[in-house]
Chain A
């Protein structure tokens, strides 16, 4: 009996072992078959997905921490066709909230390519609209109504400019494809945008830690002072209205560091509606006239001519010149702005009365090699290197150029026949305001990335003139402003500066009825804290700079000393002596 049990048990055990071994063999065979590889690869497809992580675009702040360009969340509203239950209900709801007709939505959903499983109905939908739609979905869910199944909302960032049109010419804008145009946004686009990262994101929660973190774009801090920028823009707008000018530009710079404190230009645009660009501007050079538009600046160039003459020793402040009202240079007669003789003048008188004949004579005394060498060293005809996109170079014709004539030496000396941008002039004259050292203008103060801060150092662009020349010329220009451009004066502060009234060249010669008026000045003379350049295009109330640009300089200087807390000379000297 026991033997029979033993045999039966043995048979059962052998049977179970055979089945077990069979199962194991089959498992191994299936695991290693050709089909298994296909199944594995299909399984891998569902194990995760390739996802591109776009970093948040870096923000832009002014020097005092006011946000000039930030980001806000908007949504892409779409429908998953595989989950869609009721196309009419979805079309009705989306049509109601997205300012579309139900038919438009229905058409998008029903007439999509067969292979598509997801349809984007509308992008850049604001958070309030999305919240309203989500409320409707929630109410239906509570009632076990799934007619809106398939609706999806994908959040992403959109550039936002809280100050709207403030400093718009300087900031530039970002389009919906994420690319920056003009100004800071274009110049530092790569830094601001950061690096998108495409990675395989596993669905396995055990591997959740492998999801990478994407660093945001670099945040930029500008040298701009928002409050001063706002005041300067207000003054510019009022000036255009008061003097009937077509357009204008005002730049305020720290002459010691090259930091741009304010840069206003017209026209401006609300950066949140960047599509307005095409209605406002005819071409890119108009976007920021401070750097993008070169023009014949006129008598402000006399500052550079006089600086070169003093530095070469061609003249001293006491050198006298008998102005007969005209001078022959290269066979062409050059006259004063009023076509009158001014008699005997010293060099201060030449600047005070802005005598073309005197400055043309100085240039001829200096000689064209010297004159053009200095102009080159002042940076005329070259970009300043400012960290803004869209800078123009201007044009300085030099001997040897096919369109240079000997008379150009005389006319260039008083700013005719040479084109410059307002910023070029500011940079060139910074050598006079800054003891002979010319600064490179810049708008970037610092960069912030991954918890680190990188400050941008100031850079000097050479020393075209000596310290002594700079101080001598500053005194001459201060005296010049005090006697001839009283409207540019700022009570309590000693300032130096020069007016510039330039006729506008046309195809048929110079337009006698329209001018570009400019003023360049700085102060306080004994310790310059600001440099200001004003350019008004074709003012109609007066064609003279002394009656238009000069008072604008005074207004800007007044707001600058208030905003930057610069005490009057008397107060500074009292405290300085303690």
Chain B
């Protein structure tokens, strides 16, 4: 009898236990919902970024084509025959050897052929990015599970 009294004295009321279960359940649901929302947000942002990358790649290709077209167009406009014709139209004429004066410039070194070295391509290569920047949460989990399985 005394023992039963002690147990009753320390045992929680049933509604308290139920409330704890409900609380734990709700907490789990809230945590899962937060993780899901976070994952959804990250995935959506990744997809948007991926789409932007695709768009940028298309833009790069278009710009490269435009650049090539403009270079060729510029070369067409400054072709040797075109420049000669324009020079003649502007009243210039070919120089005669006797009309040239040479001036001695101490220390002057004739320029080497001008080379058209384009700026080094500093584009970030995809293989230089850590996987964490391109991996989804599921892919990461999948990799970890497979990796663990591999160890076993």
Contact = CB atoms under 8 A, between A and B. Distances in A.
Given A208-B53, A208-B57, A453 B117 contact: yes
B48, B75, B76, B81 — most chain A CB neighbours (10 Å): B75
B65, B100, B104, B113 — most chain A CB neighbours (10 Å): B113
A243 to B, nearest CB: 21
Contacts of A219: 116
Interface string B44-81: 00111111011001000000111011011111101111
Nearest to B121: A451
B117 A567 contact: no
Interface in B111-136: 113-121, 123, 125-126, 129, 134, 136
A567 B50 contact: no
Nearest to A230: B80
B136 to A, nearest CB: 6
Interface in A487-543: 491-492
A561 B72 CA distance: 30
B84 interface: yes
Interface in A201-233: 204-213, 219, 221, 223, 226-227, 229-230
Contacts of B50: 204-209
A155 B65 contact: yes
Given A205-B53, A451-B121, 14 more contacts: A65-B116, A66-B78, A67-B74, A163-B79, A166-B81, A205-B49, A213-B125, A221-B116, A226-B80, A445-B113, A448-B116, A448-B118, A451-B119, A491-B97
Interface string B81-116: 100100000000001010010101010001001111
A317 interface: no
A128 B69 CA distance: 12
B47 A205 contact: yes
Interface residues of A, number: 56
A71, A166, A211, A227 — most chain B CB neighbours (10 Å): A71
A56 B80 CA distance: 25
A78 interface: no
Contacts of B68: 56, 70-73, 157
Contacts of B81: 163-164, 166, 230
B75 A67 contact: yes
Given A206-B50, A558-B97, A567-B102, A67 B115 contact: no
B146 to A, nearest CB: 17
A424 interface: no
A250 B43 CA distance: 68
B71 to A, nearest CB: 6
Contact of A205 (B51, B75, B84): B51
Interface residues of B, number: 48
B120 to A, nearest CB: 4
25 contacts: A56-B68, A63-B113, A64-B114, A66-B80, A70-B68, A70-B75, A72-B69, A72-B73, A127-B69, A157-B65, A205-B53, A206-B46, A206-B134, A207-B50, A209-B50, A209-B53, A211-B57, A212-B126, A221-B113, A221-B115, A230-B84, A448-B115, A452-B120, A565-B110, A568-B97
B59 to A, nearest CB: 13
A323 interface: no
Contacts of A213: 123, 125
Contact of A160 (B54, B66, B72): B72
B129 A206 contact: no
A280 to B, nearest CB: 19
Interface in A57-92: 59, 61, 63-67, 70-73
B75 A209 contact: no
Contacts of B72: 67, 70-72, 160, 162
A209 B118 contact: no
B75 A162 contact: yes
A64 to B, nearest CB: 6
Given A209-B50, A230-B81, A230-B84, A67 B123 contact: no
A562 B97 CA distance: 7
A46 interface: no
A61 B116 contact: yes
A571 interface: yes
Contacts of A127: 69
Contacts of A63: 113-114
A64 B113 contact: yes
Nearest to A159: B72
The 7 closest A-B CB pairs, nearest first, are A205-B50, A162-B75, A451-B120, A67-B75, A63-B113, A208-B50, A70-B72
A191 interface: no
Given A70-B75, A213-B123, A221-B113, A562 B100 contact: yes
A157 B74 CA distance: 17
A446 interface: yes
B80 A227 contact: yes
A160 B72 CA distance: 7
A3 interface: no
Contacts of A207: 50, 134
A335 B73 CA distance: 59
B115 to A, nearest CB: 6
A278 interface: no
Contacts of B117: 448, 451, 453
Nearest to A575: B104
A448 B51 CA distance: 33
A2 interface: no
